[in-house]
Amino acid sequence: MAKKAVTIKEVAEAAGVSRATVSAVLHGREWVSAETRDKVEQFLQQKQYQKHLLMNSLSRHFSKVIGVVIGNIRNPFNTEFISGLQEHLGKEGYFVLHHHTDESYESEVRALESLASYELGGYVVAPAQEGRPHDHIKKLIDEGKVLVSIGAIPDLETNAVDFDDDTANRNATDYLIQRGHTRIVCLAGAETSSFARHRIKGYVEGLMSHHLPIDESLIVRVGDSLTEGYRATIRILREYRPRPTAFLCFNDLIAMSVYQAAHELGIGIPTDLSVIGFDDCQLAAILGPPLTTVATYPVELARHAAEIIISIQQGNVAPGFIQRRTHPRLIERLSVSFPAPSARG
Amino acid sequence: MAKKAVTIKEVAEAAGVSRATVSAVLHGREWVSAETRDKVEQFLQQKQYQKHLLMNSLSRHFSKVIGVVIGNIRNPFNTEFISGLQEHLGKEGYFVLHHHTDESYESEVRALESLASYELGGYVVAPAQEGRPHDHIKKLIDEGKVLVSIGAIPDLETNAVDFDDDTANRNATDYLIQRGHTRIVCLAGAETSSFARHRIKGYVEGLMSHHLPIDESLIVRVGDSLTEGYRATIRILREYRPRPTAFLCFNDLIAMSVYQAAHELGIGIPTDLSVIGFDDCQLAAILGPPLTTVATYPVELARHAAEIIISIQQGNVAPGFIQRRTHPRLIERLSVSFPAPSARG
């Protein structure tokens, strides 16, 4: 009872190291240099603090509440990601709170500021927009918070989980071209989405590898909602001549909006129009017809994010940032066929 | 600078009234009795507290952070409800955090306990299970927290938003019977779901009103997931003879799992099997074929929940609990037809 419980923050500040490093010393991780270890141990001795009290305080410092800030809760990729995150973190006694920003940069900034006052144990953030300052994220990282970004952030070092969008969309484009499609719409995400930028890159590379021209009017930006996808598709199918024979969609939600527009106009999938989605959310397999799509494995991605958080909290990794990548794969179902002879370019 | 800021909690305790009542006195609401008003004003005078300082503290007491605890984030009803809640509360400067329990009672108890430490401004809870103690919810209400339940809780007075499940499912059953169906599966929710209990009641009443027998084997319980719905449907379609000609589903998610199973077995919707969903989530209209379903208007329900929270925080309502109800409506699309002649009972 005589000894005072010290916080890991005090030790970290006094020894001039990060909190993750203090945690690593206490857990006897091998990557810690002898010098750093001595510095931390020395400080503890000086102050007559007991290691077991500090070990207790570790669990207090690293709260097991994790805040998740994502864009659009109506996108099944996000709900499957959150489900996966909660499944993996829940098993280890964590509590996951989520907030969605509706893809608004301002909401994201406010959300992280609000969450900061709760002293959470970690953050998982899907940054809403590229090209806007990331000070609100950098601030948390600089404060030593455990933060995992969904998708790497240009010019900012952070833990991240992502997947190879470029290659995935290049392969999907190639798949369509091999089946005779040349007028392929790339229904891409918002101008500010880094995912959209990568996927457009893959689409363009796919066309170029077959020496096909790039028609900019076929790259159409839509936000992440059924309504926007639906409106854009109706317009394209009504106005573009010759009519495009295939749609490469930003995600499965957008692919569903293409289905909706095509059904309404009496355009058959895949007889008159081929469609490829992105993500392979649970619903993809049960659309009529089942959707050919690029699987991005949101639950596996979530498992990586959970493991990064747990490893860092347990001092189980060397300092520096961790990036984990999944490899998307095209799942062939029934929404792609050869274009009708009359439509072939 | 001389005057100390008092908390609304202190005033409420000293005057022996609820915090909502103190708020109402400060806002000059007319429903407060003269006696109560005097008691509160008197306390403030005694303590030489200034009203404007207390008004300031009001905004501190009633935090604008709202915690939402729902069952299954993969159910589109829930994501549309959360979207609606955030839209309506967001406009008023609120911040919405959500947590999903995967329909686990234990997770719900832990979630509300965890959230309680954050001093939130209010709670919206979809209680996971009927027939289990609601002490964790009662505790928050007893502490004067603003809490809105999705679905009324038997034996517990609380603010609630809900809809008339019984009538809705009775009407949907009637709709099927009028089209010649007599072997109708009621793919109901979990044993512990109060929504399921009401919807089964409506189904049974629908059959009885047409003097049709109740075949208990046609009432099949499934949890709120595509997988469970799919497995149950495969079993029913393979084993039950004569094969049922219609499925009345617990919600649209379950209806989608019926689509999946039927597609896989080569059973056509609606030619061989009619399907009715529940909720009318955005995806219902774009399934193949578009799903006939009972609209429950989750976004409108969310608006009601938001209005209850805001009204109470602003002291804009008399003490007591507020219940708001929406009226579901059958939306006719293309997933119901007359049963094939060979299948008619």
Residues 6+ apart with CB under 8 A from A117: none
**Main-chain dihedrals φ then ψ at residue A222, nearest 5 degrees:** -135, 145
Distance of alpha carbon B204 from alpha carbon B147, whole angstroms: 33
Give the DSSP H or E segment for B263.
Answer: helix B252-265
CA A336, A342, A343 angle in degrees (round to 5)?
A: 50
Nearest-neighbour CA in chain A from B69: distance (Å): 10
User: What does the pLDDT profile of chain B (345 residues) look like in tens digits?
Assistant: 344 556 677 778 878 887 778 777 777 777 788 888 888 888 777 766 666 555 555 555 578 999 999 999 999 999 999 999 999 999 999 999 999 998 899 999 999 998 988 878 899 999 988 888 999 999 998 888 899 999 988 888 999 999 999 999 999 999 999 999 999 999 999 888 889 999 999 999 999 999 999 999 999 999 888 999 999 999 999 999 999 999 999 999 999 999 999 988 999 999 999 999 999 998 898 888 899 999 999 999 999 999 999 998 888 777 779 999 999 999 999 999 999 876 654
Instruction: Give B73's contacts in chain A (Cβ within 8 Å).
Output: 73, 79, 82-83
- Does the CB of B271 have a partner CB in chain A at under 8 Å? no
- Does the CB of A91 have a partner CB in chain B at under 8 Å? no
Distance of alpha carbon B312 from alpha carbon B158, whole angstroms: 13
In this prediction, residue B145 carries a pLDDT of: 87
Contact assignment for B285 to A79 by CB distance below 8 Å: no
Distance of alpha carbon A163 from alpha carbon A297, whole angstroms: 9
pLDDT, one tens digit per residue, over A307-326 is 999 998 887 777 779 999 99
Termini Cα distance of chain B? 83
In this prediction, residue B343 carries a pLDDT of: 62
Q: Are strands A184-188 and A219-221 parallel, antiparallel or unpaired?
A: parallel
> Which of B231, B234, B286, B333 best probes binding to A when mutated, by most A CB atoms within 10 angstroms?
B286
**Main-chain dihedrals φ then ψ at residue A169, nearest 5 degrees:** -75, -30
In this prediction, residue B345 carries a pLDDT of: 45
Checking if the pLDDT of A334 tops 60, the result is yes
b/e per residue B191-207 (b: at least 16 CB within 10 A) = ebbbbbbbbbebbbebb
Nearest-neighbour CA in chain A from B225: distance (Å): 10
In this prediction, residue A336 carries a pLDDT of: 98
Give B69's strand partners: B99, B125
- Does the CB of A53 have a partner CB in chain B at under 8 Å? no
CA A120, A122, A125 angle in degrees (round to 5)?
A: 115
- Does the CB of A224 have a partner CB in chain B at under 8 Å? no
In this prediction, residue A21 carries a pLDDT of: 80
Residue B215 identity = D
Contact assignment for B290 to A263 by CB distance below 8 Å: yes
Instruction: Give A263's contacts in chain B (Cβ within 8 Å).
Output: 286, 288, 290
pLDDT band at A53 (very low <50, low <70, confident <90, very high): low
Checking if the pLDDT of A150 tops 60, the result is yes
Contact assignment for A95 to B74 by CB distance below 8 Å: no
Which of B206, B205, B216 has the alpha carbon at shortest distance from B240? B216
- Which of A144 and A47 is assigned the larger pLDDT? A144
Residue A326 contacts residue A296 (beta carbons within 8 Å): yes
Distance of alpha carbon B292 from alpha carbon B284, whole angstroms: 8
pLDDT band at A51 (very low <50, low <70, confident <90, very high): low
* DSSP state string for A77-90: HHHHHHHHHHHHHH
- What is the average pLDDT score of chain A? 89
In this prediction, residue B76 carries a pLDDT of: 93
Residue A21 identity = T
Taking CA atoms, what residue in B is nearest to A111? Answer: B95
Looking at chain B, which runs of residues are DSSP E strands? 65-70, 95-100, 122-125, 147-150, 159-163, 184-188, 219-221, 246-249, 274-279, 292-295, 323-326, 329-331
In this prediction, residue A345 carries a pLDDT of: 45
pTM of the model: 0.84
Q: Are strands A329-331 and B95-100 parallel, antiparallel or unpaired?
A: unpaired
CA B184, B187, B188 angle in degrees (round to 5)?
A: 125
Q: Is residue A81 exposed (0-12), middle (13-18) or buried (19+ Cβ within 10 Å)?
A: buried
Can you say whether the dihedral through the CA atoms of A120, A124, A126, A132 is positive or negative?
positive
Q: Name the one residue in this structure whose structure tokens are 């603003």.
A: B146
pLDDT, one tens digit per residue, over A191-244 is 888 899 999 999 999 999 999 999 999 999 998 889 999 999 999 999 999 999
Q: Are strands A329-331 and A292-295 parallel, antiparallel or unpaired?
A: antiparallel
Residue A285 contacts residue B260 (beta carbons within 8 Å): yes
Rounded average pLDDT over A42-46: 76
